Amino acid sequence: MNHPAGQLTAAPTIERRRIRVRGLVQGVGFRPHVYRCARQLGISGSVYNGPEGVVIEAQGCDLDAFTQLLRDNAPPLARIDSLIESPLALADDKGFSIVATKAGAANGAAIPADTAICQACLRELFDPTNRRYLHPFIACCDCGPRFTMTRRLPYDRANTSMSSFSLCTDCEAEYTDPLSRRFHAEPVACHNCGPTLSQNIQPVAEALAAGRIVAIKGLGGYHLACNASDHSAVERLRSGKLRDGKPFAVMVLNTASAAGYVQFDAAGGEALASRERPVVVLPTTGITPALSPALSPGLATLGLMLPYTAIHYLLFHALLDKPAGQRWLEQANELALVMTSANISGDPLLTDNAEAEQQLAGIADLILHHDRDIAARTDDSVLRMTPGANMIIRRARGFTPQAISLAVDGPRVLALGAHLKSTVAMTRGELAYTSQHLGDLDSPAAVAFHRQAVDALLDMLQARPQRLACDWNNDFASTRLAEQLSAELELPLLRVQHHHAHAGAILAEHRYEAAALAIVLDGHGTGNNGDSWGGELLLVNGGEFERLGHFAPLALPGGDRAAREPWRMAAGALQQLGRGEEIAQRFSEQPLASALQQMLATGSTPVTTAAGRLFDTAAGLLGVCSRASFEGEPPMLLEGLARQPRALARGYTLESGILDFSTLLATLADCEDPALGANLLHGTLVDALTEWAVQAARSTGVDTVALCGGCFLNAHLARELPKQLQKQGLRPLLASAMPPNDGAISLGQAWVAQRRSPATID
């Protein structure tokens, strides 16, 4: 029988489904994306923000093609974690519509992170025919500030610092047009209706060109800027900031320009140009004649970042004599600007116009303000990209408040972090939210910022914690706040040992729930009986841990001062080696050397097992650094010197879990060549740590080793130790989404506290 061809094809069946999309789908232009996909395929229905993501009701012939298109063409900032579909009865829609966010829908949502200006906006910025030509606050659904301008949830314009700028007719039209790139883009603005700068870009550029120091208000705070090639300007900035020799970050226009100053591979280039736009610490090319040597004194690395706001690009445009067209954006040039956080002596970053005027008066020759308030103070993030050892050093702008996804659900824990590089964290469901980098809690302003960050986190998550967590150290401001909150909220407070928390942070981000070994190489952390720990081998079992081994204790003459003055650590080591009589002469340039020699000979000295102090001791013995001008300087200098690490034969002993480096230290004390000494230190450490882990794995049957603590910012350790452990059949876990240093402590505390059995909670 003959059939007409048409009858062979089944008539298209119309169906209707509810599609729940979870992931990073709110505040990233996802609803208009759904709208456009629906229009394209003739699908009817609606889309709205629900409590746990975006909810779509879709009706049409080919819903599989629709969900495929949703995934394939997702907006750049979106991330789809899951897409769950369920059938619905057919309904009578009038086309496809975007339904306004209902109150309370914010409950499962979070605020998106800030994003660097996108390519489309950048093109418009330098297109003389565009109505936003040279507009300093150009932004769209795919780019611009988010976290730093949001006061509260839900993420709607009324709850951001854009609320004081009413949209002009043209912007309003784009804001309400689902087919526009600016549909519900909360930072949308133009010359007619947006925020304004306190002065024109031209005089600011001229001041920079003339060697002046300029403060510039940005997304999360002020920067202090100057020409990075102008040595006297850089030195003046260094003395004006009233601090240390901490390296300054430098901004260059593009990766082509960066290549003139630093070495990077594809991953390094991607990190520089990523939409998070962090400062990326990279090895210098060694041929950087154009830059001031005072940027990162004595270090073999430089922190670079690319422009991330329209204001930055406008400055480069003006400084490069206003090239026409777009090609200059990709071309290499030598222009480099210092862009360092404007904070005074360890206080938090300045964000307020009046405060900036007052506090920066003595440093900045000129201040470029704008009239959009900064709702959440946020520093630049910092990454380190050395081939084979990529890591995040400071997690802030561009990353926060993105959550870390945990392996399992657990009680909601609010964790208060440690003291240095502090952050706070809270878990809700399977997600852990860590605050931006809050800094060291040394000043009342820093302590106040820490408290604000707690409130902001609780506000954002709109959930009450069930447990609190803090460090074992009772002197920390973070611990005191935890105790206060525990009383106020009547919640159990769980104290988590510092290095247990370090290990917890790594296991959290790797979603690793089984027992694991942890090698923690860190600065001081409080151990049993108030001992100072920090070179530890732990066996971690969720909420519990066992100390399997530690570094042999080193003398810590002068306590905290020893941590800042490596010559004191070196003196302590000489005393321990039975060579105390050398101290006064060896460190004769130190006024207290004789007194310290006597004190070490007669009195008792506190001790520490912290690995950070082993580096300090080596730096002091090798004469590389006798006084640190900033935390971490001695190990950074040693790392820069070590080009070919090799182990000293029998440079250490390992007995009953205790690693003793006395032989190595004795050799370093007599070593005339600091580079050789640095090589021996790194090589011997890697060998010793490998044997340490292998022995522990054998005795426990556990083969996974978390490598954590601030010392893993050292590229030799981060690259070589995992290789050696793998050769031995072990499985190393390193920090990647979070920093290995104390910036991850709050996450680790939360993870550990979630896993404590209720019986151990008082």
Binding-site member from 68, 73, 164, 192 for Zn ion (CB under 5 A): 192
Helices and strands, counts by H and E, the chain? 23, 29
Q: 143 or 304: whose CB is closer to Zn ion?
A: 143
Q: Which stretch binds Zn ion (CB under 5 A): 134-142, 157-165, 259-267, 691-699?
A: 134-142
> Is residue 522 a contact residue for Zn ion (CB under 5 A)?
yes
Q: 193 or 332: whose CB is closer to Zn ion?
A: 193
> Is residue 171 a contact residue for Zn ion (CB under 5 A)?
yes
Q: 230 or 742: whose CB is closer to Zn ion?
A: 742
- CB neighbourhood size of 756 (10 A): 20
Q: Where are the alpha helices (DSSP H) in 462-537?
A: 477-489, 498-509
The backbone region for 221, taken as left when phi is positive above 0, alpha when psi lies in -120 to 50, beta otherwise, is left
Minimum distance from residue 5 beta carbon to Zn ion (Å): 49
Minimum distance from residue 197 beta carbon to Zn ion (Å): 16
> Is residue 616 a contact residue for Zn ion (CB under 5 A)?
no
Which among 151, 355, 364 is positioned nearest to 240, based on CA atoms? 364
Minimum distance from residue 348 beta carbon to Zn ion (Å): 21
Minimum distance from residue 331 beta carbon to Zn ion (Å): 22
Binding-site member from 25, 77, 121, 457 for Zn ion (CB under 5 A): 121
- Edge to edge, what strands does the sheet with 493-496 contain? 403-405, 431-434, 425-428, 413-415, 467-471, 493-496
Q: Which stretch binds Zn ion (CB under 5 A): 89-97, 192-200, 201-209, 448-456?
A: 192-200
Minimum distance from residue 748 beta carbon to Zn ion (Å): 9
Enter the DSSP assignment of 415: E
> Is residue 193 a contact residue for Zn ion (CB under 5 A)?
yes
> Is residue 509 a contact residue for Zn ion (CB under 5 A)?
no
Binding-site member from 116, 143, 294, 392 for Zn ion (CB under 5 A): 143
Measured N-to-C along each axis, helices 566-576 and 611-621 cross at an angle, to the nearest 10 degrees, of 90
Q: Which stretch binds Zn ion (CB under 5 A): 271-279, 505-513, 519-527, 723-731?
A: 519-527
Q: 338 or 707: whose CB is closer to Zn ion?
A: 707
Whether 705 contacts 615, CB under 8 Å: no
Binding-site member from 25, 113, 125, 140 for Zn ion (CB under 5 A): 140
Q: Which stretch binds Zn ion (CB under 5 A): 166-174, 255-263, 404-412, 693-701?
A: 166-174
Q: Which stretch binds Zn ion (CB under 5 A): 111-119, 250-258, 383-391, 557-565?
A: 111-119
Minimum distance from residue 140 beta carbon to Zn ion (Å): 3
Q: Which stretch binds Zn ion (CB under 5 A): 182-190, 276-284, 296-304, 727-735?
A: 182-190
Give burial (CB, 10 Å; 0-12/13-18/19+) of 655: exposed
Mark residues 453-492: x for contact with Zn ion by CB under 5 A, - for none.
----------------------------------------
φ, ψ for residue 70 (rounded to 5)? -60, -45
> Is residue 118 a contact residue for Zn ion (CB under 5 A)?
yes
> Is residue 195 a contact residue for Zn ion (CB under 5 A)?
no
Q: 193 or 607: whose CB is closer to Zn ion?
A: 193
Rounded CA separation 6/641 (Å): 78
Q: Measured between alpha carbons, how far is residue 396 from residues 6, 147, 575, 577 in Å? A: 60, 10, 43, 44
Number of residues that bind Zn ion (CB under 5 A): 12
Tokens, residue 68: 């495929």
Minimum distance from residue 545 beta carbon to Zn ion (Å): 15
Rounded CA separation 518/539 (Å): 6
> Is residue 168 a contact residue for Zn ion (CB under 5 A)?
yes
First to last CA, the chain: 83
Q: Measured between alpha carbons, how far is residue 89 from residues 18, 19, 55, 57, 97 in Å? A: 10, 14, 16, 11, 18
The backbone region for 387, taken as left when phi is positive above 0, alpha when psi lies in -120 to 50, beta otherwise, is beta
Mark residues 719-758: x for contact with Zn ion by CB under 5 A, - for none.
-----------------------x----------------
Minimum distance from residue 385 beta carbon to Zn ion (Å): 23
Q: Which stretch binds Zn ion (CB under 5 A): 121-129, 284-292, 600-608, 672-680?
A: 121-129
Minimum distance from residue 745 beta carbon to Zn ion (Å): 6
Give the up-direction half-sphere exposure of residue 19: CA atoms within 13 A in the CB hemisphere: 25
Q: 380 or 522: whose CB is closer to Zn ion?
A: 522
φ, ψ for residue 33 (rounded to 5)? -60, -45
Tokens, residue 521: 């190489």
Which among 709, 732, 719, 552 is positioned nearest to 632, based on CA atoms? 709
Amino acid at 699: S
Rounded CA separation 696/691 (Å): 9
Whether 461 contacts 428, CB under 8 Å: yes
Q: 145 or 268: whose CB is closer to Zn ion?
A: 145
Tokens, residue 66: 């629709």
Q: 68 or 192: whose CB is closer to Zn ion?
A: 192
Which residue ranges make up the site for Zn ion (CB under 5 A)? 118, 121, 140, 142-143, 168, 171, 190, 192-193, 522, 742
